[in-house]
Structure 1
Amino acid sequence: MSRIKPPSSPDSRTAKRERVLDAAARLLSTSEAADFSMRDLAEEAGVSFATPFNYFGSKMAIMHALSARLIDTMTARFAEAPAAADAIARILTAFDIAVGVLLEAPAITKPVVGSLGSPTTEPGRVADHSRVLWAVALGDLTGIREEMTAIARSSLPDHLALGFRGCISFWVAGEIADEDLHERAFAMAAALLLGFVQPQFQDRLTHLLRLDALKISP
């Protein structure tokens, strides 16, 4: 009589899912083409060929999951950072952390970010995931002009997500150097925040924009 295999526990499924993602990251970091086959992925993860498909469905979904994991890392590190007194400092801290995460392993993060711009019939949830990070960073909107708080709460997380994605897309394309990414991201954040902040915060944001202007001036 054949034995019925018990269903996997949620913990074991999570562990296997993370094992597949870890294997994908290793393959990206060691591949000259920054790519991998699903067969190589299964072998690297020590799972059956069907497992990555069963857990994710496709290679693109794996790249989306790796992107989500990057954002989760950014969010966790932001939560551990010393609390800032105002939304402006919080946003700049979040950008500093986010860029730092990306620069830790460019051989992995560049193909992951780059893959999100590929045509696909499988839209992910990366934008929503990113919006949550910037909404958390804005906090209680201390430092935002009172008449702008409603607009800031509803739109700024989305605009910050779009701006950050654009910034790192140029980085992936080689148009922003690793050493310039922090400064360009700060300037992008400053440009978005400038119209929302109370007067006492405008000088700091304007200073960031001036520094960036010096960098990009011909």
Structure 2
Amino acid sequence: MRKDKMPSSSSAVRGAPVRQRVIDAAERLLRQGKAEFSMRDLASEAGVSFATPFNQFGSKHALMLALSACRIDAMKERYVAAQPSGNALNRVLFAVDTATAVMLEEPAVNRAVMGWIGTSGAVAGDVLAHSTALWALALGEGAGSDSACRQQPVDCLPRQLAFAFRGVLSFWTAGELPDAALGESARQMAQALLRGARSDS
């Protein structure tokens, strides 16, 4: 993602300027098609010492988790800025469209990030928690849903939506789902989950 689209909340964190330089350098390398860059390549691109990326992130896998978090933060910031209204389904579909737009802004970069976070690393990430928070934000308190099924969205749908959206993204990352089909596939997934919640109530 371009720097002007990154969330700015990290600037208050100690060491954030150097950390952001490393993140920006990683994104530049990914834009150049260098997904297999080494940490030495990264340090050179960022103009920092060889140890700095390790000091800031610990590993390349952890760096990719941070890049994923930046993308989810961007999705949440755009959703909040737009203040979508309507019922739960409309808000979730707006979140789907927002998330899809973020991923399609730089498909090659985001596919590389998704590919990396899909592998195991020494440190577990918190992508699931980050993603769940986005869908919980969209669902709110279930306002606009049928009263009989409000409790289910509040309790379990955000996590189910996180699982399902990640699943759609995995097929897109693997090249089985073209860019043009990502948004509609994700929308169909969300609609099916919310309809299922209503029918199970």
TM-score (norm 2): 0.89
Distance in 1 (alpha carbons) for counterparts of 2:143 and 2:12: 40
Taking CA–CA contacts closer than 8 Å with sequence separation of 6 or more, which of the two structures ends up with the larger relative contact order? 2
* 2:78 matched residue in structure 1: 77
Q: Contact 1:20/1:45 (CA < 8 Å) preserved in 2? A: yes
Give 1:54 shift: 0.5
Q: Which residues of 2 match residues 55-204 of structure 1 at below 5 A?
A: 55-197=56-198
Letter in 2 for 1:59: K
- SS at structure 2 position matched to 1:192: helix
State how far apart, in whole Å, the 2-side matches of 1:11 and 1:92 are: 33
Which residue, 22, 25, 33 being the options, matches 1:23? 25
* In 1, Cα distance between equivalents of 2:124 and 2:29: 23
> Shift in Å at residue 145 of structure 1?
2.4
- Point out the structure with max Rg over C-alpha: 1
Amino-acid identity (%): 49
Deviates more, 1:87-96 or 1:112-121: 112-121
Q: Which consecutive residues of structure 2, in runs of 5 or more, have no partner in the other structure?
A: 1-10
Between stretches 145-154 and 100-109, larger displacement belongs to 145-154
Distance, in Å, in 2 between the alignment partners of 1:197 and 1:88 is 11
C-alpha distance after superposition, 1:125-172 (max 9, x if no partner): 000000000000111312222232222111000000000000000000
Give the drift of 1:15: 1.2
Please give the residue correspondences for 1:41-56 in structure 2 after superposition, counting only pairs within 5 Å.
41-56=42-57
- Give me the whole-angstrom Cα distance separating, in 1, the residues matched to 2:16 and 2:165: 29
CA distance in 2, matches of 1:98, 1:144: 22
Structure-1 separation of matches of 2:166 and 2:197? 21
Stretches of structure 1 that go unaligned for 5 or more consecutive residues are: 1-8, 199-218
C-alpha deviations, 1:6-54, integer Å up to 9, x for none?
xxx96661111111001001101102x5221101101111111111100
Give the residue type in structure 2 aligned to 1:93: F
* Matched-pair contact (CA < 8 Å) for 1:144–1:196: no
Give CA deviations for 1:83-108 in whole Å, capped at 9, x if unaligned. Answer: 21211111000000100000000111
**Alignment RMSD:** 1.7
Q: CA, structure 1 residues 178+10, in 2 after alignment: closer, same or farther (shift >3 Å)?
A: closer
Write the deviation string for residues 42-81 of structure 1: whole angstroms up to 9, x where unpaired.
1111111111100100000000000000000000011111
Q: Does 1:13 align with 2:15?
A: yes
Q: Secondary structure at the match of 1:142?
A: coil
Secondary structure of the 2:121 match is coil
Q: 1:143·1:197 contact (CA, 8 Å) conserved in 2?
A: no
Contact 1:87-1:139 at 8 Å conserved across structures:
yes
Q: Does the C-alpha gap of structure 1 residues 95 and 10 become closer, same or farther in structure 2, counting only changes over 3 Å?
A: closer
